[in-house]
Amino acid sequence: MATHNYVRLLGALRKPPKIISLANSRAAMFNIIVINKSRFEKDTYYYNVPTIFTEDETMIGDIVNYKEHDIVEVEGVITTKNVIKASLCEYCGQKNVKEKATIFVVTPLYLCLRESGIATKEESLRLLQPHAEISNKCFAIGTLLRDPELIAIGKKKRNTVRYPLAIHRKYYIRDNPDTHSDYPWVNTIGEQAEDDMRYLHAGSVVYIDGYIQTRNAIQTSVCSHCGESYHWKDSAVEIIGYSVEYLQNYYTPDEVIEHDPFDVIQVEG
């Protein structure tokens, strides 16, 4: 099966980079603000803030000189990492640890500082707007790990569907060389979402043309000390699929009709 995992970003640094000391090396991490022009609403832009993470020492040597609001071009791959997240109970203040949480970052294969010396966030975003079509691009081939799930019912056929995807790694990633696949979530909207619900299932192989979305999320945990259920702020990252091409192991139109016959309109002769 073909392997494909490619991200291209052009964005403005939200804050100066963080240089992290590791056991035998160091890593650089920073967020960039990227821009998308809506395909549904005229003159509407969306901003997202993906995380860039690398242990490549040559890249880190350049990254340490990046400044807030600098515009940077990134070409890289989707990488998911297992991490430990902690939250504080709002009732007793106990620190609770969530084992094996998954985060989504972009591992750069190429970095280039495109513009520096920008004074404000507003100016950096103004400079990004003419590049909205290339500021946030993501392409991937992967296998569905679950059946698609309807997560929102919207007006004007703007329903939202999601599913987790297994993507085989195309490149060697130094910070986790024994991992060969990554597992991002994919969301699709509108007619594409309706088709995904009809034709896809666990094990389907698809090609995604989309972009990276970041958003705030609320998690719920049960405190290990007082037993109370509480909410805490988290973040979520997923791929939004503009289009999905069905490659292997999907339902045929005849199978869709068999499973969902009420989609067929019968006309009396």
Residue 137 to residue 240: CA distance in whole angstroms: 10
Contact present, 179 and 79 (Cβ < 8 Å): no
Cα–Cα distances in Å, from 67 out to 15, 114, 119, 121, 181?
A: 7, 12, 10, 12, 33
pLDDT at 141 over 50: yes
Q: Is the pLDDT of residue 173 over 80?
A: no
Longest dimension (CA), the chain: 77
Q: What is the mean pLDDT of the chain?
A: 89
Q: Report the b/e string of 122-144 with b at 16+ CB within 10 A.
A: eebbebbeebbeebbbbbbbbbb
Distant-in-sequence, close-in-space partners of 102: CB < 8 Å, separation ≥ 6: 80, 81, 82, 83, 183
Work out the number of other CB atoms within 10 angstroms of the CB of residue 31. 19
Each residue's pLDDT tens digit, 71-86: 999 999 999 888 888 9
For the segment 87-122, what is each residue's pLDDT rounded down to a tens digit? 999 999 999 998 677 889 999 999 999 999 999 999
Place of tokens 């969306």: 46
Which residue is listed with tokens 């395909």?
39
Amino acid type, 244: V
Q: Is the pLDDT of residue 265 over 60?
A: no
d(CA 155, CA 115) in angstroms, rounded, equals: 41
- 21-52: pLDDT as tens digits: 988 889 999 999 999 988 777 778 899 999 99
Q: For the CA atoms of the chain, what is the radius of gyration?
A: 21
Q: How far is CA 14 from CA 9, 29, 112, 118, in A?
A: 14, 12, 16, 12
Q: Is the pTM of this model over 0.85?
A: yes
> Could you give the CA distance from residue 87 to residue 230 in angstroms, rounded to a whole number?
10
The confidence score (pLDDT) of residue 177 equals 56
- The three-class DSSP label of residue 264 is coil
pLDDT in tens, 179-212: 578 999 999 999 999 999 999 999 999 999 999 9
Return the number of other C-beta atoms located less than 10 Å from residue 76's C-beta.
Answer: 23
CB atoms < 10 A from the CB of 77, how many?
21
Instruction: Give me the phi and psi of 197, to 5 degrees please.
Output: -65, -35
pLDDT at 82: 80
